[in-house]
Amino acid sequence: MKKIKVAIVRGPSLNPWEMQNYEPLREQFNLLAIGSTRNLYALSKINFAVTKLPCIGQSVGLVPFGIKFLYKYFGDPQYLQGFEKIISGFDIVHAAELTSAYSLQAVRAKRKGLVSKVTLNVYENIPLLPPFYAARDRLKAEVIKYTDHFIVSTQSSYNSLVAEGVDFKKISVVGAAIDTQFFVQATSDLSQRRFKRSKIGFRENDFIILSAGRLVWEKGWYDLLRAAHWINKYTRNATLPKTIRFLWIGEGPEKEQLGKLICDLHLDQIIILYGSRDFYEMPEIFRIADLFILPSIPTPFWNDQYGTVLIQAMSTGLPIIASQNAAIKEVLGSSGRYVIPQNFHELVEQILQFLLQPKLRSHIGKMNRRRVETKFDTRLIAQKIARIWNTITN
């Protein structure tokens, strides 16, 4: 039987960690990933065919006000040159988001008869977002009208699509995926864990609280800082079983200010700013931690869309504290420990509870691992996507 040909288009944002979720489908489908000639991420570890196309936005972005011009007059800057030639003859183009230019290119290629079907991954969970440029609205309306099926990770994204006018019968909630054989729990051999801890600057008896993400205000880093300051100030003379310390992974515009505050508050022995790390290093980092925290804050224009970092932490058997923000509860379920966004004192209380109850940490960690294995494993999610692709092409 001839394989269905699927082009997975992500433009400059094409990355190997998302593409590994499609790798289990290589035997069933003929896959091609389409990125940009100036891609944001290295692509050498994608294990199926990849092609790179020039992205107009990346070129025009070098001109003052160039990107703003493209948004205002064309709706989005991520147009890919030579797109139609590459995807001509494919059965499915699988793009992403309602307002990306390459999603528009995909549906226009379909209208020209160059491809048969268009499917879309949608992560956005806030409908009717500004800016309300006429070009952007036209782009979105055309994408909605001519896309054959929408694949979302959460109910909140489903609700957002329905609010945008998408027929609910064309939407499938499939969840997000993670390779549970890559993000595994720590083994009983603790020597490697101790070595990695010491390499970063931690001691064996430290209670390590890990957080990872972009260093931006809405990710809640300042609330973590306040929690660390409270803990350092008010538990300094307390008899605790371990020393509480924080490991922060990420880069972003708040890095300099956070670093300054860490020094000003004399928290440099408590918090380690470890910068951005390679994706393939992250499982080892998760395995040296005792607890993971995601204290994100909803804004008028952004909510946590899934928190893939959460299922990474869950897969490595970590207990998790997270804020009550958008889709987070859909991911963690009953095993999560939730705090009100920006309530740093609730963070402190939850941290101390996990520190003082090792059996609770172990129990929640095992629950998290089981939840990921049964709901979010790459192989499970890939087969859900396969059923959608097979259905719309038959």
Residues 306 and 381 reside in one and the same domain: no
Residues 350 and 293 reside in one and the same domain: yes
Residue 282: domain span: 191-375
User: What pLDDT shows up at residue 237?
Assistant: 81
Q: Pull the structure tokens for residue 224.
A: 């973590």
* 295, part of any domain: yes
| Range 181-188, long-range pairs (CB < 8 A, 24+ positions) | 182/20, 182/283, 183/282, 183/283, 183/286, 183/312, 183/315, 183/316, 184/283, 184/287, 184/315, 184/316, 185/287, 185/315, 185/316, 185/317, 185/365, 185/369, 186/287, 186/288, 186/316, 186/317
Residues 215 and 362 reside in one and the same domain: yes
* 351, part of any domain: yes
User: What pLDDT shows up at residue 57?
Assistant: 94
Cα four-point dihedral sign 382, 98, 93, 149: positive
Cα four-point dihedral sign 310, 315, 316, 320: positive
Residues 58 and 68 reside in one and the same domain: yes
pLDDT digits (tens, 9 = 90+) for 363-384: 999 999 999 999 999 999 999 9
Average pLDDT along the chain, 394 residues, taken 10 residues at a time: 94 94 95 97 95 95 86 94 98 97 98 98 90 91 98 94 96 93 83 88 95 96 97 89 96 97 96 94 95 94 82 96 88 92 96 96 96 95 97 95
Residues 365 and 389 reside in one and the same domain: no
Residues 208 and 172 reside in one and the same domain: no
Q: Pull the structure tokens for residue 250.
A: 């990420």
User: What pLDDT shows up at residue 186?
Assistant: 81
Residues 234 and 341 reside in one and the same domain: yes
Tally of structural domains, the chain: 2
Residues 156 and 205 reside in one and the same domain: no
* 182, part of any domain: no
User: What pLDDT shows up at residue 247?
Assistant: 98
Residues 169 and 207 reside in one and the same domain: no
Residues 99 and 109 reside in one and the same domain: yes
